[in-house]
């Protein structure tokens, strides 16, 4: 059994892993650059409701108590309660390098561990577009300077932001490079997640190779988007070639002025601080496709944290 495990990141993945290790009696230190539990949920805008039903968002040992769908503030409170429930503490520290032998470099010190769990998530590492505000900084329609909003992207976040703008009677335009990725929220009277969650655990990763390699995004749920589109409230345009201030030039050469331009272009899983990603004793939790197709989602984190703790004990 390793003497001390370092868990980098205190979002859902780090907290879940710390709780599972504690339950198995493995000594672990949980660090986060922000020094508080919650990870992305400390910074995601409060107006968002999670697309997964609450029953698929619980972490090991404590389920959230909320209606069928949980909001970001409710989930943040759940994570605070989760840390307290399991007696987890978070040390404020940023890992800058993990050398072979788990010699870990922080900003101003170096320590050695026996194993390392990387649970650094993706929210701190947005894929940006020059001239646009990234979706991670989205603060809702009320924060916009005017009604004409260009949203770059054709998957989950782009669809959610477009729907929110349409509900607020703004004029959203979606810039989609290839095709819009949208699926119905419900199927046979049930939330689509009731089918996706079990399937994503056993489907081999090669069936979604493009997604696992970060080349493709997953579809967003239709919570009114198609109806807004049918009524002409949401417009679709092709890819953006250039942004100059508030003006966007599209690939067909046309230019249009907007009041705000938002890039819903996703995130990347950053782990450049690792010198050797293959070292025995190094584990990823919350990284896309780390263990299964569900690994970056809350329902995957729940499974993977348990697996990693079992392996480390
Ligand atoms: C808007 C939005 C909606 C979502 N909705 C759903 C949903 O409905 N259902 C679902 O299952 N999933 C959903 N997700 C995905 C899932 O919730 C996130 O992927 C989840 O936050 C991942 O948790 P994590 O702990 O891996 O990462 P994070 O929550 O990002 O936490 C990682 C932590 O690590 C810290 N960190 C990073 N690098 C370092 C370093 N070098 N040193 C120290 N600390 C570091 C970061 O600051 C951060 O605090 C959503 C995500 C977003 C952004």
- Which pLDDT score, from 0 to 100, does residue 2 have? 55
Question: Is 13 close to ligand 1, i.e. is its CB under 6 Å away?
Answer: yes
- Which pLDDT score, from 0 to 100, does residue 1 have? 54
Question: Is 273 close to ligand 1, i.e. is its CB under 6 Å away?
Answer: yes
pLDDT mean for each 10 residues of the chain (313 residues): 87 98 97 97 94 97 96 98 98 97 96 97 94 96 96 95 97 94 94 94 87 84 96 97 97 97 94 93 95 95 97 94
> Any idea which residue has 């669809």 for tokens?
159
Question: Is 305 close to ligand 1, i.e. is its CB under 6 Å away?
Answer: no
Report the alpha-carbon distance of residue 161 to residue 234 in Å, rounded.
Answer: 11
Question: 191 with 223: CB under 8 angstroms?
Answer: no
Q: Which atom of ligand 1 is nearest to the CA of 119?
A: 26
- Which pLDDT score, from 0 to 100, does residue 214 have? 82
- The end-to-end CA distance of the chain, in Å, is 5
Residue nearest to atom 16 of ligand 1 (CA): 297
Q: What are phi and psi of 43, to 5 degrees?
A: -120, -15
What single string gives the DSSP state of each residue in the chain? --S-EEEE--SHHHHHHHHHHHHTT--EEEEETTSSTTGGGGTS-TT-EEEEEGGGSPBTTB----SSEEEHHHHHHHHHHHHHHTT---EE--EEEEETTTEEEESS-EEE-SEEEE---STTSB---TTSEEGGG---GGG-SSSEEEEE-SSHHHHHHHHHHHHTT-EEEEE-SS---EEESEETTEETHHHHHHHHHHS-GGGGHHHHTTSSPPPEEESSHHHHHHTTSSEEE--EEEEETTEEEETTS-EEE-SEEEE---B----TTBS-TT-TTEEESSSTTSSSTTTTSHHHHHHHHHHHHHHH-
| Substitution site in 106, 123, 140 for ligand 1 pocket (most atoms within 8 Å of beta carbon) | 123
Question: Is 22 close to ligand 1, i.e. is its CB under 6 Å away?
Answer: no
Query: Could you count the other beta carbons within 10 Å of the beta carbon of residue 255?
Result: 11
Q: What is the value of pTM for the model shown?
A: 0.95
Q: Is 206 exposed, middle or buried (0-12, 13-18, 19+ CB in 10 A)?
A: exposed
- Which pLDDT score, from 0 to 100, does residue 67 have? 94
Question: 46 with 26: CB under 8 angstroms?
Answer: no
Report the alpha-carbon distance of residue 309 to residue 297 in Å, rounded.
Answer: 18
- Which pLDDT score, from 0 to 100, does residue 3 have? 75
The three-point CA angle 23-12-40 to 5° equals: 155
Q: Which atom of ligand 1 is nearest to the CA of 286?
A: 26
Report the alpha-carbon distance of residue 235 to residue 228 in Å, rounded.
Answer: 9
Question: Is 287 close to ligand 1, i.e. is its CB under 6 Å away?
Answer: no
Residue nearest to atom 47 of ligand 1 (CA): 33
- Which pLDDT score, from 0 to 100, does residue 201 have? 86
Average pLDDT, the chain: 95
Distance of CA 258 to the CA centre of its chain: 27
Distance of CA 24 to the CA centre of its chain: 27
- Which pLDDT score, from 0 to 100, does residue 190 have? 96
Q: What residues contact residue 249 under an 8 Å CB cut-off, 6+ apart?
A: 240, 241, 242, 243, 255
* Ligand 1 mean position, distance from CA 259 (Å): 29
Q: What are phi and psi of 95, to 5 degrees?
A: -85, 125
Sign of torsion over alpha carbons 127, 158, 138, 9: negative
């Amino acid at each position: 059994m390793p003497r001390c495990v370092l868990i980098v990141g205190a979002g859902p993945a780090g907290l879940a892993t710390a709780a599972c290790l504690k339950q198995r009696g493995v000594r672990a230190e949980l660090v986060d650059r922000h020094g508080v539990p919650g990870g992305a949920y400390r910074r995601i805008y409060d107006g968002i409701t999670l697309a997964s039903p609450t029953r698929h968002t619980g972490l090991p040992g404590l389920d959230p108590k909320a209606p069928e769908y949980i909001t970001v503030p409710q989930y943040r409170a759940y994570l605070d309660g989760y840390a307290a429930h399991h007696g987890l503490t978070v040390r404020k520290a940023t890992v800058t390098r993990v050398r072979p032998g788990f010699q870990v470099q922080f900003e101003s010190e170096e320590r050695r561990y026996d194993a390392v769990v990387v649970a650094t998530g993706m929210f701190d590492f947005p894929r940006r577009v020059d001239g646009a505000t990234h979706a991670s900084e989205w603060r809702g329609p009320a924060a916009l300077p005017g009604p004409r909003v260009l949203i770059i992207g054709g998957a989950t976040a782009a669809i959610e932001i477009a729907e929110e703008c349409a509900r607020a009677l703004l004029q959203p335009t979606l810039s989609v490079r290839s095709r819009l990725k949208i699926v119905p929220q419900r199927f046979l009277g049930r939330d689509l997640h009731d089918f996706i969650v079990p399937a994503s655990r056993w489907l081999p990763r090669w069936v979604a190779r493009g997604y696992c390699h970060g080349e493709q995004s997953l579809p967003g749920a239709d919570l009114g988007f198609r109806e807004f589109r049918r009524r002409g409230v949401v417009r679709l345009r092709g890819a953006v070639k250039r942004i100059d201030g508030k003006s966007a030039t599209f690939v067909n050469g046309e230019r249009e002025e907007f009041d705000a331009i938002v890039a819903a272009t996703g995130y990347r899983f950053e782990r450049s601080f690792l010198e050797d990603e293959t070292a025995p004793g190094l584990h990823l939790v919350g990284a896309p496709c780390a263990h299964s197709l569900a690994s970056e989602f809350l329902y995957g984190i729940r499974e993977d944290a348990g697996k990693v703790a079992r392996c480390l004990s």
